[in-house]
Amino acid sequence: MTRSWLVPALWLTLASCAFAACPPAGQDRASLQALKAEKFAMPDATSRNALAEGLLDCLGDPDPDLRDGIAYEAFSTWMRAGAFDADELRKLRDGLYARLDGEDADGFRKPFAALVLSEVARTDRVSPWMRADERASAYLESVRDYRGYENGAGWRHGVAHGADWAMQLALDPALDRAQLERLLAAVAAQVMSADGHAYVFGEGERLARPVLYAARRGLIDDAAWKAWFAALPARLGPPQAGHGDAAWLARRHDLAQFLEDAYASADLSQDPTISRLAPAIAAALRAMP
């Protein structure tokens, strides 16, 4: 299968290397906690880059303190501060792409790689460094692990993290209409889960954000938006096939959650490019069985 997030030859090179342990060499939990207390301040770029590359493996660690509280927060802090040049960002991005492939039984590595890739996309939005064909993501529609939050283990949240990545791409003024429509297709694929899972951790709200920001770009006309929203209830199938079917009812729940969150945001928005979605969303809500 072709991997659209990574050139196949590069993927083979990266995938052939076993992921290392977390914490990275030369670090332990105490040293990483101390660095966090210092707001991840590391003036020396060489040391910071080396640690960032080592922290990639912490994104799959089952310990939420290491995975979310240190690794993700470090990447977010550094990237939002502009700590990495384009060469280092490419190296980190490619390492993150490699972690989107293969088995992920624990279910942490892929969602958190995607979440950091949303930060990578943000760096490009703020100060462009990617080629046009690099501004894409196939991750969101590929998610089949719908686990959200688990006591003790923390977040997985693959759909929400994929939506965050899509949101950053939708915000990027470099994306054209075709690229935005590709993002919208990915969102539509996850508005209702593939296996009858009911979203309960705010996935609908997160999925709505890239849609609203895509509308703000002003590249998609009202007729296209009406058709996009109208297609969602049609995917549920006839109600008589669903009564008494828990999977159908869960999918209906997911769709209603998404549409209601999107409608509330559009209806309250002061931005006319977003508020213009409200009638199309309301029509989709009325069309739901």
- Give pLDDT, residue 11: 38
Do residues 138 and 187 touch, judged by C-beta distance below 8 A? no
Q: What is the mean pLDDT of residues 184-205?
A: 96
Average pLDDT over residues 156-179: 98
pLDDT value of position 245: 87
CA distance 255 to 246: 14
Reply yes or no on whether the pLDDT at 16 is more than 70: no
Is residue 10 predicted with pLDDT exceeding 90? no
Q: Which whole number is the average pLDDT over 266-280?
A: 98
Query: Burial letters for 182-214: b for 16+ Cβ neighbours within 10 Å, e otherwise?
Result: bbbebbbebbbbeeebbbebebbbbbbbbbbbb
Band the pLDDT of 238: cuts 50, 70, 90: confident
Regarding pTM above 0.95, the answer is no
Q: How far apart are CA 234 and CA 232, in angstroms?
A: 5
pLDDT at residue 170 is higher than 70: yes
| Cβ proximity of 75 and 119 under 8 Å | yes
Q: Is the pLDDT of residue 13 over 50?
A: no
Task: Specify the pLDDT at position 141.
Answer: 97
Look-up of token digits 């972690």: 99
User: At 150, is the secondary structure helix, strand, or coil?
Assistant: strand
**Mean pLDDT of the chain, nearest integer:** 92
Angle between helices 109-126 and 73-80 (to 10 degrees): 10
